[in-house]
């Protein structure tokens, strides 16, 4: 699977409206151990008209919770800081860093979306962030004012006077991306463009399966999309390990810590859905620690 597919699932800082929607079976779980109860909800970080409303079951879970945690805090200060953390601090430009053919290819891709687009505004942006921009800009141009599930959960919980926050810091989350070498980030950008050239609408299929709430089909789709090009296999494996599996361990530990520190309170944790699906997921880790998990 191309690296940007995972980014679409994990890195986003937007919000949505609240109401019942077309999600057939929300990725919502109830977890219990020793009288302590909490909820897990899998989000999709995509701006799309069909994802502009929260399922009623999730809304009720938020209302019945005392503590609500997203991956990172989603306040305005954090979002502004996130933007600044995508900028290089060495004064080098993309023209200085990228191979000339890859630079031109990236430029051509942007112009194929909109002739007025170019790399000029992003010259001092980190290469991994450029990969994210390239993969998502078409969707963002279509729906510039739409937001994703995570931030509306955060803001709805804030409106309801819940204890809000994140289980990671922004530095931890974006630091994972910074941990890849420049050579790896360049390969990541090449991978993103190769995927986009295939004209397979990964996001649309992901959204379809997400709205159906079919975990088996969603996992199968992801598995069948991975490691299709040998030249990217090692990087994709490293990417999955650092961005998903390693973070799952950290997330599960922090979920437990929050629950144990607040035994008389109900918590809700909303992370990208892939953190809860398949082997090495947060749910599998919690089960191995003796928690009972039930899909609602």
Residues 46, 206 contacting (CB under 8 angstroms): yes
Please state, in angstroms and rounded to a whole number, the distance separating the CA atoms of residues 266 and 285.
20
| Residue-range domain boundaries for the chain | 3-295
Please state, in angstroms and rounded to a whole number, the distance separating the CA atoms of residues 128 and 178.
8
Strands (E), the chain: 28-33, 36-43, 67-70, 163-166, 267-272, 292-295
- Triad 72, 22, 283: Cα angle to 5°: 45
In b/e form, how buried is each residue of 14-49, taking b as 16+ CB within 10 angstroms? bbbebeebebeebbbbebebeebbbbbbbbbbbbbe
Instruction: Give the model's pLDDT for residue 199.
Output: 59
99, 243, 268 from 166: Cα distances, Å: 38, 16, 11
Tokens standing for residue 254: 């922090």
Residues 82, 174 contacting (CB under 8 angstroms): yes
Q: Could you state, in chain order, the average pLDDT of each consecutive group of 10 residues for the chain (296 residues)?
A: 48 38 83 96 85 89 98 93 94 96 96 93 96 86 80 92 97 96 96 81 82 91 81 93 97 98 96 95 98 97
Instruction: Give the model's pLDDT for residue 213.
Output: 92
Instruction: Give the model's pLDDT for residue 243.
Output: 95
């Amino acid at each position: 699977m191309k690296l940007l597919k995972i980014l679409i699932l994990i890195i986003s800082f937007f919000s949505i409206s609240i109401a019942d929607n077309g999600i057939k079976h929300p990725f919502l779980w109830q977890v219990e151990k020793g009288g302590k109860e909490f909820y897990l909800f899998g989000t999709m970080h995509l701006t799309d008209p069909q994802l502009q409303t929260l399922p009623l079951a999730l809304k009720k879970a938020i209302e019945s919770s005392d503590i609500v945690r997203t991956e990172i805090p989603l306040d305005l200060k954090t979002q502004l800081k996130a933007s600044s953390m995508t900028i290089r601090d060495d004064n080098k430009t993309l023209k200085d860093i990228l191979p000339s053919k890859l630079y031109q290819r990236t430029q051509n891709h942007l112009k194929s979306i909109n002739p007025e687009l170019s790399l000029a505004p992003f010259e001092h942006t980190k290469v991994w962030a450029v990969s994210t921009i390239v993969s998502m800009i078409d969707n963002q141009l279509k729906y510039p004012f739409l937001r994703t599930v995570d931030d509306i959960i955060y803001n709805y919980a804030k409106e309801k006077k819940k204890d809000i926050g994140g289980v990671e810091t922004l530095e931890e989350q974006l630091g994972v991306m910074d941990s890849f070498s420049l050579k790896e980030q360049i390969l990541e950008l090449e991978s993103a463009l190769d995927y986009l050239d295939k004209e397979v609408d990964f996001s649309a299929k992901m959204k379809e399966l997400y709205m159906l709430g079919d975990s088996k089909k969603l996992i199968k789709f992801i598995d069948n999309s991975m490691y299709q090009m040998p030249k990217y296999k090692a990087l994709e494996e490293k990417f999955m390990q650092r961005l998903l599996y390693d973070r799952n361990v950290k997330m599960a530990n922090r979920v437990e810590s929050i629950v144990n520190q607040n035994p008389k309170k109900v918590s809700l944790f909303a992370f990208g859905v892939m953190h809860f699906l398949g082997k090495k997921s947060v749910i599998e880790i919690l089960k191995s620690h003796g928690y009972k998990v039930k899909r609602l």
